[in-house]
Amino acid sequence: MNRYLVYVDGRVQGVGFRFFACQHARARHLTGSVKNLENGLVEIYIQGEEEQINSFLSAIQQGNRFIRVDQISVKKIPIVEKEREFIYLY
């Protein structure tokens, strides 16, 4: 089990990126949260098995026809015990 703090830069606000990220995280049984920041970045806390996290990061990097990811920053952080779901934060 691992946990990462991820910052995503690009065309990631106002294009459904949080919903997109949430779908991909839940499909992989990952926990954490996704939140838009005032500086235009999106902040993601993602926790789960390494293989599933790598799959999630690959999926969000690809984006879709509305989303364009220019850069992803990933930092390993301590896990949060008892976290059970992936949620949107506002």
Neighbours of 48 (CB within 10 A): 22
3 as an active site residue: the answer is no
The catalytically annotated residue of 3, 11, 18, 84 is 18
pLDDT at 83: 94
pLDDT at 90: 81
pLDDT averaged per 10 residues, the chain (length 90): 97 94 97 96 97 97 92 97 92
54 as an active site residue: the answer is no
The catalytically annotated residue of 36, 39, 64, 65 is 36
Query: Is there a contact between 26 and 32 (Cβ–Cβ < 8 Å)?
Result: no
Query: Could you give all domains of the chain from N- to C-terminal order, each with its CATH number?
Result: 2-89 (3.30.70.100)
pLDDT at 80: 95
Phi, psi of 21 (to 5 degrees): -65, -40
